[in-house]
A and B are shown apart, each in its own frame.
Chain A
């Protein structure tokens, strides 16, 4: 036991002496939070659009005003004819061109039917879709308002309620995702490197001939990272509460316990990587390319899982991050209890046992060599 404590102390010293790694350790979560909180949004805001108004009457002016005051769009250009649209898109100046047909207002007031053409630059399909939908919604809203001014016989009024996230803030999506990403990154990447480093530098042999048991070496290696990751979890929760105004709705203790489970899972992934590689460069590339992008893309963090083809959904289902994000959302945002996440918890626990089993087995094989 004394040896073990000494070994853990050594590990802590290693980490605290390497200032650059420390910056990555503690700087990364904060940076990621701010990055996702302020910069990365999938919503439409200040999208640049151009207007081709072939009618130039009061109605079109009202709609244009409504578009520009909505906060979603910035009208950067007024075009004179249709030939300019192509050039406008090719230079990447605008996302969408709103084309009012000639005599728009006249048709709207007299014939009760007018057309507006929304031409979107769909080389970015997602945002084209969003921009068109937002524009259509604003025009729809305009029509409803105009109609309610004059009495329409039967009106269906829609009452919308946004559950869990009334203001449709982006933080609700990215806090769980970022948390999962940071934990995977720090636990898996750093542990794998720290074990492989001992191999590469040849000091692993020394550890192996010491009175420490293999399991003690592994536990001693990962123990500091469990603690540091836990500090990161708390940092993220504090940031999300005080900077982004997103408090934890459910039980904090349950949340921390689940995070601990996920940390252990990510650590076992790290150990697995380190036992199957023999130099830092390979371990890093494997951890970064193999874990980073799937964590971001194949977990429902940015892109909804149900939109993917079935075989990718299947991959998502064996990705532990997917389950952890569900757990986080249920506890943090919906305020649900353990009963709502027991299935996900069981999956994570099962995966942890499996990964730990595989990596201890691999570790032993290496010992005998």
Chain B
């Protein structure tokens, strides 16, 4: 027990004395928390639209008015030349074009049917899809209004019905995307400290030759490993606390669930990734190798964890791979606990899987660790 204490003391002194790395480790992720959280926003509010109104009738003006009054669209230009409008899209000055052909009102009254044309810049398919959905809502609202205008209220009621769609957004009624991103950045923070730093720390001892000295001491390997992993385990949990506090103060993220549960999950999650870090440091002999190996897997795991995009949309095989992705578990759980207030009974399955996973990985890493080089 005393040995562990001394190793811990040595580790903490080392961490404290590394002047170059400390700011990078702690400040950079926190700065990113403050900056990047603002970047990740998919909500479309100002879709730039260019209007080509070749009809110039009262009906067409009513439609263009609907678009310019909508909070989703910003009218960027009015023109009578379709080519000019398309150039606007080419130059990214407009995201879409609304084209009302000449004789629109005439045809609508005479033939009971008239066309309007919508052209979208679909390079970003998601944005185009949302724009199209918004535009569709505006046009069908317009359609009802114009029928009422020509035929009076009675006709709309005689015609077939309409369905009133009422959306409501639980847990985040303001649709504040930051609430979603803050927990994600906290996951990154915990992961970087728990996995990369722990792995690099051990490899550094190897690279510098210090490991030989430790190997010849009576320190048992389990003591050595605990001494190496525990400081980062503690640090990561402290940083999680700091991050949560900042998130609360600056972004006012909700903390509906139990913080004890969150820290419990984080503690178990750290076991898994520290195990991974230890495995990497077992095989790598230089810091560069360790870094690349960790980096290679981290990118995949992070991208697949649902940090920016829903995991539901991934193909089946990717979702199966995700069962082995520890980051995906933590990413999901931290959001569930913080934002939705999920309790232990809601998450116990994931929790037990993580726990089993952690014990397995750590045991494997410890068994494979050799004191003899």
Contacts and interface: CB of A to CB of B under 8 A. Distances in A.
A125 B172 contact: yes
A281 B175 contact: no
Given A128-B175, A137-B133, A144-B140, A92 B342 contact: yes
A294 to B, nearest CB: 8
B20 A157 contact: no
A285 B161 contact: no
B180 A124 contact: yes
A192 to B, nearest CB: 12
Contact of A303 (B42, B175, B179): B42
Contact of A132 (B156, B162, B167, B339): B167
Given A129-B42, A154-B108, A333 B123 contact: yes
A126 B168 contact: no
Interface string B154-195: 011101111111111111110111011000000000000000
B318 A39 contact: yes
A233 B125 CA distance: 24
A314 to B, nearest CB: 12
A366 interface: no
A150 B313 CA distance: 37
B307 to A, nearest CB: 10
Nearest to A134: B133
A202 interface: no
A135 B40 CA distance: 23
B75 to A, nearest CB: 15
A306 B176 contact: no
B261 interface: no
Contact of B292 (A21, A39, A315, A334): A21
Contacts of B44: 304, 307
A47 B170 contact: no
A149 B346 CA distance: 46
A82 interface: no
A45 B147 contact: no
A156 B146 contact: yes
A125 B310 contact: no
A161 B120 contact: yes
Contacts of B168: 117-120
B42 A173 contact: no
Interface in B266-323: 287-289, 291-293, 295-296, 299-300, 303-304, 308-310, 312-315, 318
A164 interface: yes
B58 to A, nearest CB: 14
B16 interface: no
B159 A172 contact: no
Interface stretch (A4-12, A106-114, A224-232, A261-269): A106-114
Nearest to A189: B295
Q: How large is the interface on B (under 10, 10 to 19, 20 to 34, 35 or more residues)?
A: 35 or more
B29 interface: yes
A232 to B, nearest CB: 16
B135 interface: yes
A281 B200 contact: yes
Interface stretch (B88-96, B217-225, B351-359): B88-96
Given A43-B126, A90-B346, A125-B180, A119 B161 contact: no
Nearest to B113: A155
B117 interface: yes
B206 interface: no
A254 interface: no
Nearest to B45: A307
Interface in A36-52: 36, 38-48
Contact of A123 (B29, B132, B162, B180): B180
Interface string A279-317: 111101110111001000110001110111100100100
A1 interface: no
A169 B156 CA distance: 38
Nearest to B350: A92
B179 A125 contact: yes
A127 interface: yes
**Top-3 shortest CB links A-B:** A168-B125, A122-B169, A112-B161
Given A89-B171, A156-B108, A297-B40, 7 more contacts: A38-B315, A38-B318, A40-B314, A113-B161, A125-B176, A156-B114, A160-B119
15 contacts: A21-B288, A42-B308, A89-B171, A90-B342, A92-B342, A95-B312, A113-B161, A121-B170, A126-B42, A129-B175, A132-B169, A137-B133, A168-B122, A280-B288, A303-B42
Interface of A: 20-21, 24, 27-28, 31-32, 35-36, 38-48, 87, 89-92, 95, 107-109, 111-130, 132-137, 139-140, 142-144, 146-147, 149-166, 168-170, 172-173, 193, 197, 279-282, 284-286, 288-290, 293, 297-298, 302-304, 306-309, 312, 315, 326, 329-330, 333-334, 336, 340
